Structure formats: structure tokens, C-alpha cells
Amino acid sequence: MLRKYLKIAVIALLVVASTEAKSQNIQLHYDFGRHLYSSAEADRQKVTVTYETFKADKLGSWFYFVDLDLRNDGASGAYTEVSREFSLGSQSPFAAHVEFDGGLNLYGSFQNAILAGPAYNGHSADFSKTWSVQLLYRQTLKSGEKKALAGFQLTGVWGLTLAQGKWTFSGYADLWNGFIPKWDADGQKKGLAFMTEPQLWYNISKAVSIGTEVEVSHNFIYSTDGSDKSIYVNPTLALKFNL
């Protein structure tokens, strides 16, 4: 599923801690993964709607998003991430980052996680280039038969505005340790997982963009055909509406 937030569009606002700012958007993604991996991803959703909100204040910023996976008969899953950053000085690029991740689908709830750690946010002089690096302690919570697990997550985020604002290239990359979609005699298996979702948008106007997102993951997706495949590349065709 489309797991992550478009943090990139927000980073330029993150660094302007002295002013209050707010942005929100709705994205509609048609996912081609089910067509590309008809056996291994037979249950993958085709349509995902994402709602995102960012708000800066004098202490830092709030950001959250919700993904809804849709089928013909309604929603089949939901995933959310809520984060808060506290600026460590008005001129400092460092911030304290706290985050909650969780959701559910037709097969049950996802394993919720709480993350905390430092973030480094930066930008070019004209804000056409933005970036963020976060090194986080990651604690998953016990859920049914799923065990709690302490670990780490390294996140990198970037954003580039090109051609006088007509194009936006943005994305993130996550590397974390946790339970991976492989099983052994003792139950859940631990390992490293990776995911990145670069996005390319053509900005038709300030309100509407058309583009694509390409989800590349390793040790993240459970194969529905029992294969040992661990790397998946799932592109989308997308519309974004800035509210």
C-alpha cells in the first residue's frame, strides 16, 4: 500500500519556524502493482486516496496523513502517520521528532509503532531544494500474536522544484530493522527492511498536479503466492489537489 507521506512538500515550511503556516492536500493514486505482480500481489489495492495536513507554529510543526485503500465495495484498509517536531532554536537546523504509525486492513490491524529522535532539516537559499534526515528509535507495540520489538529507523527526505515551479521531484527513503515478511520455526523473523517512494509532479496550477509515485521496497511486502520474492517496484498514476 502507499505507506508514506509527502514530507518533502512540507520541509520548506518546516524551516520557517518564525512564521505560522498550514498546507493540506488530497492525492488520488492508481496503483499498477497488482498488474505487474498478478500472483505475488493479487490482493494489492488499485486505488489509494491520501489526505495530508501540515501546520507550523512557534514551537515547530505538526504533520499527519491518512491513506485509504479503496475497492469497488468500499475501503479495504487505512494507514496513518502523525508526527510532531520541536525546533531546537530559531536558527538551528535540528529538531526533536516524535511520531506514531498505525493502521488496519481486511486481515487485521497493522503493528503500531512509536518513533522518536533527532531530525536535521535544511534548504537552499531560494527554497527550491529541501532535505531532512531523521535518526529515530523505533518501538513497535504488541498486537495479538505479533511481538513488541525495539529498533531504529533512518529516514531521508528530499524535494526539488524545477522549471520555475512547473515540476516537483520529491521523495523519501526509510531503512529500519524489524519483523520482515519471512517466517521460521520460531515465528516472526527479524531483519532489515527498506522502502523509498520518489514522486514526480507536473504542476498544472497551484491547485492541481498530475504525476507518479514509484514505491520500491525490500522485505516489506508479504507475497500472496508464497514466493521468496523480497524486492517490489510499484508505480502509480496520480492526481494531487492542494486545498
pLDDT tens-digit map of 64-102: 999 999 988 788 899 999 999 999 998 899 999 999 999
For residues 18-31, give the mean pLDDT: 83
Instruction: Using a cut of 0.85, tell me whether the model's pTM lies above it.
Output: yes
Which pLDDT does position 187 carry in this prediction?
Answer: 59
Banded model confidence at residue 17, pLDDT cuts 50, 70, 90:
very low
CA distance 105 to 146: 15
SS3 222: coil
Asked whether the predicted pLDDT for residue 184 surpasses 90, the reply is no
Q: What is d(CA 90, CA 79) in angstroms, rounded to the nearest whole number?
A: 33
**Per-residue pLDDT tens over the stretch 134-173:** 999 999 998 877 889 999 999 999 999 999 999 999 999 9
Measure the CA–CA gap between 224 and 116, rounded to whole angstroms.
33
Predicted confidence at residue 73, as pLDDT, reads 79
Per the prediction, the chain carries an average pLDDT of: 88
Q: 92 burial class (0-12, 13-18, 19+ CB within 10 angstroms)?
A: exposed
- Which secondary structure element, helix H or strand E, spans residue 159, and what is its range? strand 149-162
